Amino acid sequence: MTDTPSHGFATRAVHAGQEPDPSTGSITPPIHQTSTYVQDGIGGLRGGYEYARSGNPTRAALEVQVAALEQGADAIAFASGLAAEDALLRAALKPGDRVVLGDDAYGGTYRLLKRIHEPSGVRLDTVDLTDPAAVEAAFAEPVKLLWIETPTNPLMKIVDIAALAAVGHAHGALVVVDNTFASPALQQPLRHGADVVVHSATKYLGGHSDVLGGVVVTSDAALAEQVRFLQFAAGAVLAPFEAWLLTRGIKTLDVRMRRHTENATAIATQLAADPRVERVYYPGLPGHPGADIAARQMSGAGGMLSVALAGGERAARALAEGTRIFALAESLGGVESLIGYPSLMTHASVRGTPLAVPENVVRLSVGIEDVADLQQDLADALDRI
């Protein structure tokens, strides 16, 4: 089947870039586990491939698939989400340029900007991107790149992509959205005006906690060419087997995200009614400050939520260590439920910065297990605190 943009999301997820192997009929595209390609005479490339750092058919198949899902012209797949972010920042910025980042974001993104790019001359400011006055103040000075995460990690703030893209473009900024938490099944930022989407493909795209990867997606041809050149020159490519695992995971993205959302909604509702929980951060709950924007730009609130415990740090740590089905682990987005204590785990690198996470907060990555089992697990762990 040939993919066309008119096909629905789930059809594109299964078929885009996933042609059966023409030489054998294998319905599943093969893994091209090779470092180089035979040439018919010098420069006589059979399929356009020369060496695995510059290109690999399995990686290319993934790139076509992700570009089709995000409705972008091009996608470039990297060895991790941070490798993708780093290549994008190197391609887009030069010394003296200023970056504005949301004040709640993945700690590693802040660390990359603060400890790698700031010492090279890039300037960084963090701003509450849900506060229009703060955004206006941030744009009083030139901004080269606006970095949006929505929903944010871990406090689940919702940033209005279309509104922020309009502000960014009015000031000549490149607008980047980290779409890791929502995945393209629930949110497609390029359609709301963003210039670039980045992913930690490690999370929902892969979906099975068995692969590390990252992707940059854009319809800006010059930027895509620059990112691709940087990848070729610096070498942070995604390996063929990891690319294949991602193409496989993505085929079920649509059904997984529906189930993640269904389970997370039930759990958020349960926890919101529990007096031991001071606050639930989940954009699918009616009282969430970004619920209206989420309803506009997302087709579901997703599988991530955080809770602040009334019993403070002690209770939060006890909950994180007290569940039996939710496994205590870094990362998110897999079929299995995970629980984490951000201030000492995923966000340990931002302790003492404007992005520090409150010490009574626990983050849940709600998996696709039976929701009654997950709810019982949390209820039991809360009882044991």
Residues that bind ligand PLP (CB under 6 A): 80-82, 106, 108-109, 149, 153, 178, 180-181, 200, 202, 212, 214
Ramachandran angles phi, psi of 266, nearest 5°: -65, -40
Cα distances (Å, whole numbers) of residue 216 to 127, 176, 202:
23, 10, 13
**Active site (annotated) includes residue 157:** no
Catalytic residue among 74, 103, 104, 178: 178
Distance CA 157, CA 149 (A): 9
Kindly tell me which of 65 and 109 has the beta carbon lying closer to ligand PLP.
Answer: 109
How near is the Cβ of 112 to ligand PLP at its closest, in Å?
9
How near is the Cβ of 141 to ligand PLP at its closest, in Å?
26
How near is the Cβ of 332 to ligand PLP at its closest, in Å?
6
Kindly tell me which of 57 and 214 has the beta carbon lying closer to ligand PLP.
Answer: 214
How near is the Cβ of 181 to ligand PLP at its closest, in Å?
6
Catalytic residue among 203, 228, 251, 317: 203
- Decide if 293 contacts 160 (C-beta within 8 A): yes
Catalytic residue among 3, 37, 53, 259: 53
Catalytic residue among 59, 86, 90, 106: 106
Q: Which residues have C-beta within 8 Å of that of residue 309, sequence separation ≥ 6?
A: 276, 277, 278, 315, 316, 319, 360, 361, 362, 385
Kindly tell me which of 186 and 382 has the beta carbon lying closer to ligand PLP.
Answer: 186
3-state secondary structure of 144: coil
User: Starting from the edge strand earliest in sequence, which strands make up the sheet with 338-340, in order?
Assistant: 277-281, 304-309, 361-365, 338-340, 327-328
**Active site (annotated) includes residue 110:** no
Kindly tell me which of 364 and 381 has the beta carbon lying closer to ligand PLP.
Answer: 364
Residue nearest to ligand PLP (CB): 81
Label residue 313 exposed, middle or buried (CB < 10 Å: 0-12, 13-18, 19+): middle
Active site positions, annotated: 53, 106, 178, 203
